[in-house]
Amino acid sequence: MIYTITFNPSLDLNLTIDDLKISHTNRAKTEELLLGGKGINVSTVLKNLGMDNTAIFYAAGFTGDEIEKRVHDFGIKSECIKLEDGLSRINVKIKNIDGTEINGLGPNIPSEKVDELLEKLKKLKDGDVLILAGSIPSSMPNTIYSDILNIVSAKDIKVVVDATGELLLNTLKYEPFLIKPNKNELEEIFEVTLKDKESIISYAKKLKDIGARNVLISMAGDGALLVANDYKVYESEAPAGKVINAVGAGDSMVAGFVAGCMNDEGILLDDIDYKYAFRLGLSAGSASAFSSDLATKEEIINLYKKTYEK
């Protein structure tokens, strides 16, 4: 089974505004309310690709109730941990103004609710895949991801980490199966400016040297690259298309890559075709960027075929 964890899920209010004016009343031209939170995004795209999975997430208040309802209505298995205080986030995304967005803080997660999550994770079995994605509330220590890996490290569980800074670096000693920083995050980790693909590859390999088994680097319009478990490098330009909404593109890439590593029964392959998994991941990420919502299976497969089966 594939599990995703989202500490800070949200409802994303996506707006289109013709001419945003500061200190004025602005009216939206279009609006839509979508599920948000990186782990839930990954679960959604995995479900679209036919991969059974379980979303574990925290939810608080009436917004949390709506998040739980939408996850259930979409057909994703879920284990919701209810918080008594606060509200799950509402994030405002202004789609047509250079990715402008305002993200909420999210509720505090008390220690007993963290313990509840950790107890759930003790039930995972050999062969399961666990995906940790996204930010954590400010009330939590930046060791929480590594604390989780410490708990599951006694079993044969493949862990995927899509996080930034110390949250990511703290997990590397546990040799996660996959990490997915983007180019900017890679620069922040090593405090460097990466001006060419060769330097990006070099620093991606440094993350492998520290502990990651596979390092997937997204580079927005410049495509992506993968330093695989055997240090072989796969790279590709981004598939051609018009970017409509980049929110969730990175999460979709993670979902596509993981799906590409599994068989039809949702079991991780012993002999992974990393080239295929990498290309499916990039196709999934791009297909979501070319759509107003997260990409469907049809959109992902069509883009894959158009790009790689010419």
In a domain, 263, yes or no: yes
Quote the pLDDT of residue 236. 94
Range of the domain at 148: 2-16+29-308
Residues 6+ apart with CB under 8 A from 26: 17, 19, 20
pLDDT for the residue 97: 67
Name the pTM for this structure: 0.93
Predicted confidence at residue 264, as pLDDT, reads 82
Q: Which of 98, 251, 270, 273 is catalytic?
A: 251
Contact 38, 247 (CB under 8 A): no
Tell whether 24 is covered by a domain: no
User: In the beta sheet, which residues pair with residue 132?
Assistant: 5, 161
SS3 per-residue string spanning 86-106: CCCEEEEEECCCCCEEECCCC
pLDDT score for 122:
93
Q: CA–CA separation, 152 vs 148, rounded Å? A: 6
23 domain-assigned: no
pLDDT tens, 86-105? 999 999 988 766 668 888 88
Instruction: State the pairing for strand pair 214-218/224-227.
Output: antiparallel
Whether 7 has a pLDDT exceeding 70, the answer reads yes
- Helix then strand count (H, E) for the chain reads 10, 13
- Sequential DSSP letters for 96-141: TSTTEEE--------HHHHHHHHHHHTT--TT-EEEEES---TTS-
CATH number at residue 132: 3.40.1190.20
Cβ–Cβ contacts within 10 Å for residue 138, how many? 9
139: left (phi over 0), alpha (psi -120 to 50) or beta: alpha
Residue 220, pLDDT score: 80
The number of distinct structural domains making up the chain is: 1
Say if 287 falls within a structural domain.
yes
Residue 21 lies in a domain: no
Pairing status of strand 100-102 against strand 89-94:
antiparallel
**Residue type for 296, please?**
T
Whether 65 is catalytic is no
**What is the mean predicted confidence (pLDDT) over 184-201?**
92
User: pLDDT of 23-61, one tens digit each?
Assistant: 999 999 999 999 999 999 999 999 999 999 999 999 999
22 occurs within a structural domain: no
Q: Which of 5, 2, 6 is nearest to 53 (CA)?
A: 2
Is position 240 within any domain? yes
**Among residues of the chain, what percentage have pLDDT more than 70?**
98
The predicted structure's pLDDT at residue 192: 93
User: Looking at residues 196-211, what average pLDDT do you find?
Assistant: 94
Supply the mean pLDDT for the chain.
93
Mean pLDDT of 157-174: 93
Using CA of residue 264, residue 268, residue 299, residue 288, what is the dihedral sign?
positive
Eight-state DSSP code of residue 305 = H
Whole-number pLDDT of residue 137: 84
Q: Is residue 110 part of a domain?
A: yes
Better-predicted residue by pLDDT, 293 or 43: 43
Edge-first strand listing for the sheet containing 233-236: 77-83, 53-60, 2-6, 129-133, 158-162, 178-179, 214-218, 224-227, 233-236
Mean pLDDT across 138-152: 90
pLDDT number for residue 202: 95
- Count of other CB atoms within 10 angstroms of residue 174: 17
CA–CA distance, 144 with 107 (Å, rounded to integer): 16
- pLDDT, one tens digit per residue, over 204-232 is 999 999 999 999 999 887 889 999 999 99
pLDDT (tens digit, 9 = 90+) per residue, 235-257?
A: 999 899 998 888 889 999 999 99
